[in-house]
Structure 1
Amino acid sequence: MTVPLEIHLDADDQERALRADVVAGLTATPKSLPPKWFYDARGSELFEQITELPEYYPTRAERAILTAHATDIARLTGARTLIELGSGYSTKTRLLLDALRPELFVPMDVSPTALEAAAARIAVDHPSLRVRSIVGDFTRHLGFLPVADDRLVAFLGGTIGNLAPDERARFLAGVRGVLRPGEHLLLGTDLVKSPRVLVPAYDDAAGVTAEFNRNVLRVLNHHLQADFDVDGFTHVALWDADHEWIEMRLRARRPMRVTIPAVDLAVEFASGEEIRTEISAKFRREGVAKELSEAGFTLDHWWTDPEARFALTLARALP
């Protein structure tokens, strides 16, 4: 069965957003690019590979929590509609679908390819489930989520950590704005722990994360006719103890001048100069509870894996 895509982020819209982000980020000091541009088809495949790496614990830890508590989530929420933001291939979501047996599943993602693949796989296991796939950006298109019965919004994988604190506040307020009082948010957050565990998760021995990081340059080369020497940049992952987040960067191996004709831009890089491509914030329970409260939620349940590496929070929208 083919599920039609509801498109609120078409190719032209993505191209305009990419151009704006590239001009803003590469003319700033220090230089930066948003992590959402990792995820073309190749980037999505690379990230799926990352989730299976031995160093990358978040996916396994979150899956363990879902395995242990999906039936609790179903009982506590009574959700008949499951909405997943930044759904990707919805790999872990099937645990929720099996427990909830909802009437409607609404995945939202920027990647049509991932949405189509996920819908095809889900249709095999849940042939009677209605699926409404939305191509959209969860920071911009929450208003297009359907009004339906007893909704549970899932935002998994620790993706909220890719947002800066002010962006998180706007996002959580936006989710609260589309929910009715009593409806729920299921939030995945990676927890603060030793850099000896954190850093290898973002700098694996096989180099898959390095390829994923450099993929953003390939995206710019392809879509904006840029001439980045992709191998001229080294992957860097650092723990920032003050902000309690991992930073991924691309570091120029040598001085270079990059031209990006589609935005009429030439960018100079000194040897060792870096582009910040991602932050991945790590959390503590009190901080999660505070951010949820400020957005209009109450933290009802907090579950972690046995090693307390990752947490799932079930929050309820307040009146």
Structure 2
Amino acid sequence: MTNHKGLALVDLDDDGVDRAFRRDVLEGLRQDQKAIPARWFYDERGSQLFEQITQLEEYYPTRSETEILEALGDRFAELIGRGRAVVEFGSGSSVKTPLLLNAIDPAAYVPLDISGDFLRQSAAELSGKFPGLPVYPVEADFMREVTLPDEVEEHPKLGFFPGSTIGNMIARTAVDLLRSMRATLGHHTHGGALLLIGMDLVKDESTLEAAYDDAEGVTAQFNLNLVERINRELGGTIPVDKLRHEARWDDLHSRIEMHLMASEDIAFEVSGESFEMQQGETIHTENSHKFTRRSANILLLAGGWTPVECWTDSGENFSLILARAENPRNAP
């Protein structure tokens, strides 16, 4: 059975606005360094723009991750086994997700995403490619523990988190997410949960900056779309034409940062609250942390996952890691 309508677990206010979106935007704009979590990029338009980004020449992660999935399907099948319910944190890519599903012959597929329209569209497209596979889309904020559909409770779970989205989070948030994934997937039931996660690797600065500031300006549109969403959904008056996309490498934190920089002094409102930005001031909209093998392992272990095997593409630009959930334990 396929459920394209899916479950909706997003908390909306009386105006139909996601309460968490309003809270995060207002709290972020009140800070000295204005900042908005990157997960709010992904309304329907943002999700479409990101799909375009993945096809850009400068954006290597998707090609690199796809190369791994294409080359190692037999190994995935050996280590993961058949009959698991695949729970994807974020709507499935039209390329990467089918490669995994073909390799491991799952019992069901559960995409989780906060963008309901894009989620249902992706679920319907994937169901068309796998007509015998039960698909249960769930509209939810996967940053917290999610209750999965009853239909998949009997199956062991494989979490799938491709694209190095984990790199968008600072370390403590990433660890919290890994722990909530472990809770969502049920680490203690049905033979233990597994997680297949993408993590981008440290490389030369010029390659990294080009991947987040492409020549066609698609990434700039993606960044500015967040402001357009705020204006549309939260009654914002932010002058989009007075903001400029900027990508910069921060070596101390091992990350690319995306910002929206004010080209002149501006004043605006969001949800009835007034804000100002001086020329050159920025809204910090995304981090994309880059990892070494050791730092990736440390992050996973802190989140309750033990790495089983790690694969990289031929250019050693990107890694896919399979990890298993561990039961909580005290030191040492």
Tell me the TM-score normalized by structure 1: 0.95
How far apart, in 1, do the equivalents of 2:17 and 2:235 lie?
15
CA contact (8 A) 1:109 1:136 kept: yes
Partner of 2:290: 282
Q: Shift of residue 119 of structure 1?
A: 1.8
Residue 231 of structure 2, aligned match among 221, 225, 228: 221
How far apart, in 2, do the equivalents of 1:241 and 1:230 lie?
29
Partner of 1:168: 174
How far apart, in 2, do the equivalents of 1:273 and 1:304 lie?
38
Secondary structure, in 3 states, of the residue corresponding to 2:18?
A: helix
Partner of 2:273: 265
Secondary structure, in 3 states, of the residue corresponding to 1:219?
A: helix
Unaligned 5+ segments in structure 1 are: none
Number of residues of Structure 1 aligned to a counterpart in Structure 2: 317
Is 1:310 the counterpart of 2:318? The answer is yes
Partner of 2:127: 123
Residue 104 of structure 1, aligned match among 105, 108, 112: 108
Partner of 2:62: 59
Secondary structure, in 3 states, of the residue corresponding to 1:142?
A: coil
1:133-282 alignment runs, 5 A limit: 133-144=137-148, 146-177=152-183, 178-180=186-188, 182-260=192-270, 262=271, 264-282=272-290
Q: 1:15 to 1:150 in 2, by over 3 A?
A: closer
How far apart, in 2, do the equivalents of 1:314 and 1:272 lie?
42
Point out the more displaced range, 9-18 or 20-29. 9-18
Q: 1:14 to 1:82 in 2, by over 3 A?
A: farther
How far apart, in 1, do the equivalents of 2:131 and 2:119 lie?
16
Q: 1:8 to 1:99 in 2, by over 3 A?
A: same
The superposition leaves residues 77-122 of structure 1 with CA deviations (integer Å, 9 ceiling, x where unpaired) of: 1142111001254541010111112111011011112221222222
Unaligned 5+ segments in structure 2 are: 328-332
Which segments of structure 1 move beyond 6 Å, counting only runs of 4 or more?
none
Partner of 1:27: 30
How far apart, in 2, do the equivalents of 1:158 and 1:173 lie?
17
Partner of 1:39: 42
Q: Shift of residue 37 of structure 1?
A: 1.7
Structure in which a larger fraction of residues adopt helix: 1
| Identity among equivalent pairs (%) | 41
Partner of 1:5: 6
Partner of 1:68: 71
How far apart, in 1, do the equivalents of 2:107 and 2:20 lie?
34
> What letter matches 2:38 in structure 1?
P
How far apart, in 2, do the equivalents of 1:205 and 1:74 lie?
39
How far apart, in 2, do the equivalents of 1:297 and 1:89 lie?
24
CA contact (8 A) 1:232 1:253 kept: yes
CA contact (8 A) 1:88 1:111 kept: no
Secondary structure, in 3 states, of the residue corresponding to 1:149?
A: coil
CA contact (8 A) 1:78 1:150 kept: no
Q: Shift of residue 11 of structure 1?
A: 4.3
Q: Shift of residue 143 of structure 1?
A: 4.0
How far apart, in 2, do the equivalents of 1:154 and 1:2 lie?
20
